[in-house]
Structure 1
């Protein structure tokens, strides 16, 4: 009788377990996590979404363009910095195409990157990238250029308003009175607006006094060099070549302005400011056709960006030194200081840092 009773109990207990499992009774896994919950706690569990310890962090890097020298440097340095931190990185470059950049970012998101770093082509349109990334639980770092009207997790760049201030300060000290031409960057790039803001912060008091007159001020559509050349050509024509100073949004636009000046026999006679410290700009500074550039140590930018990307991927806190309003929120930001460079300090800055080799700046053996 006892044997039959035990068998009956065993059958009843087995049936109970089967009913419990079928109805989704809560059980505990070996590590104490809730599993088999009818509410789907397994899928929504934070611990379940964490990357396994033996799986490498993957950073997505969505770039606007590689057309200019500086962006090739950013790409190379960022990749090296991420790898040195033990993570992987995948880079996609959009060739200055707004729709393509969004499509590429969606691909990086679908591939499961842990953090998405974006150099936006269009500051406004890139908000869609942020929204899509956040929907997938991926944080977004706005790199060098600020993404507008989106809840960007972090912005890292140089102080671009300060860039414009450095340009205008040096040129206005050389030309305290006269007619100025301003060749801006792309209207779609927030940095172009910040640089211009910095320029006018310095120039406006002189404009108000009547000492300086800006006789030409135009954006360079899509940062395309030929558009900058056309702008400078139009400025010279409109003023019968009577120009005293030129401030350009970067070294590529400065180069085109200098070409237009050269066509009129004015290269080297009119001060020209640029920024980015490109090799060609450094060579022009040595030769005397470009007055100054602004050096932004990319090694510092790429290394810091790589560090914060990995920290965000790990869920760690990131220290910032500023906040920048992007039209929607005050974005936590890391802003690095730029450096004005002219003929007097070129050796002590970009050459001393190894940003460019001395023999390249001075064109291999040319006497200083």
Structure 2
């Protein structure tokens, strides 16, 4: 799939440079190969280890064969991430690509990098309170709008919009993207459907989402819940587990995000209504391109900026794609994000045949 930027990108001609070119932080006569450090926030969401990391690393190696790569996953621990970033700086990292566990808390780490003249790319999550080189992500408000609209469309189609309440399972409060998703969803849903319970789910945890859904079922009553706005697929899985445990004969429509394999299969079998497909390949590869350019002393122009509360950060924003069962073949499978053989196993085979996925 070709990247579809939220605004039209400014054409940028990068200066030709061999991979052994000195990094911006090295002296002009230095022959040290550039070191690029990637920091991801957690592994409960399958995309990070299955897609973001290998795609980023492969692109860096393709662009710069002698670049050294450092990788760390913080396991949703902000203190651990701080130690990882400080260790990378101590090892001489020339560029940091940082997906923050806590987007407010890492400002001090960005400051440490700036003191060492090490550029920073905020990956997927906007870092607040300080200036840095780039932000690469998706149009997060649009994600929430798509989730809200898909849920509203499903409720209207079933004729249940005014017959009950929905539950909102938002993402981690430490992730600024969560607020964007939530604001986008509210802009569509407010005044059109009653929100019975709403949660900001710590750590994006499926287990905590399951507990929240159980609380909502107890408080609202099983038959009074007509839909679930879940900000991602992992939490949708938790909500589904809670409803199945509560004895739902038929599940209400449930949203998601990330196009996790299990979620794609649930959509085909009717347990989950939709997901947001993010072109993670384009996100990871664009970040890798920028990291290599910065390591070579280049600074490509960005097509837009995003204000992080303190500064306007040069940004690259990708468009999300809403995917229901009838759109899986023309998006996720067409892009080979997953193949039909990945998806169409066991109980999913019949649904795949029904939707032409082979």
- Common fold by TM > 0.5: yes
Task: Report how many aligned residue pairs link the two structures.
Answer: 317
- Structure number with greater Rg is 1
Q: 1:226 aligns to what?
A: 207
- TM-score of the pair, normalised by structure 2: 0.85
Give the whole-Å Cα distance in 2 for the aligned partners of 1:268 and 1:162. Answer: 29
Structure with the greater relative contact order (CA < 8 A, sep ≥ 6): 1 or 2?
2
Give the whole-Å Cα distance in 2 for the aligned partners of 1:360 and 1:48. Answer: 45
Q: 1:338 aligns to what?
A: 320
- Give the one of 106, 129, 153 matched to 2:86: 106
- Give the one of 84, 92, 115 matched to 2:62: 84
CA contact (8 A) 1:267 1:289 kept: no
- Give the one of 330, 333, 343 matched to 1:348: 330
CA contact (8 A) 2:169 2:209 kept: yes
Give the whole-Å Cα distance in 1 for the aligned partners of 2:117 and 2:270. Answer: 51
- TM-score of the pair, normalised by structure 1: 0.83
Query: Per-residue deviation at 1:56?
Result: 2.4
Q: 1:130 aligns to what?
A: 110
Moved more, 114-123 or 64-73: 64-73
CA contact (8 A) 1:158 1:337 kept: yes
Q: In the TM superposition, what are the counterparts of 1:1-368 in structure 2 within 5 Å?
A: 49-50=27-28, 52=30, 54-72=31-49, 73-86=51-64, 87-176=67-156, 177-178=161-162, 179-204=165-190, 207=191, 211-241=192-222, 242-266=224-248, 268-363=250-345, 366-367=349-350, 368=353
Moved more, 112-121 or 175-184: 175-184
Query: Per-residue deviation at 1:267?
Result: 6.5
Query: Per-residue deviation at 1:269?
Result: 2.8
Q: Which runs of 4+ in 1 moved over 4 A?
A: none
CA RMSD of superposed structures (Å): 1.7
Alpha carbons of 1:103 and 1:48: their partners in 2 closer, same or farther (altered >3 Å)?
closer
Unaligned runs of 5+ in 1: 1-45
Structure 1 counterpart SS, 2:136: strand
Query: Per-residue deviation at 1:268?
Result: 4.4
Query: Per-residue deviation at 1:315?
Result: 2.2
Unaligned runs of 5+ in 2: 1-23, 354-358
Query: Per-residue deviation at 1:325?
Result: 1.5
Alpha carbons of 1:293 and 1:75: their partners in 2 closer, same or farther (altered >3 Å)?
same
- Spell out, residue by residue over 1:261-311, the C-alpha distance to the aligned partner (whole angstroms, 9 max, x if none): 111232743000000000000000011000000000111111100001111
- Spell out, residue by residue over 1:192-225, the C-alpha distance to the aligned partner (whole angstroms, 9 max, x if none): 1111111112112xx1xxx311111111112222
Alpha carbons of 1:50 and 1:291: their partners in 2 closer, same or farther (altered >3 Å)?
farther
Give the whole-Å Cα distance in 1 for the aligned partners of 2:26 and 2:247. Answer: 68
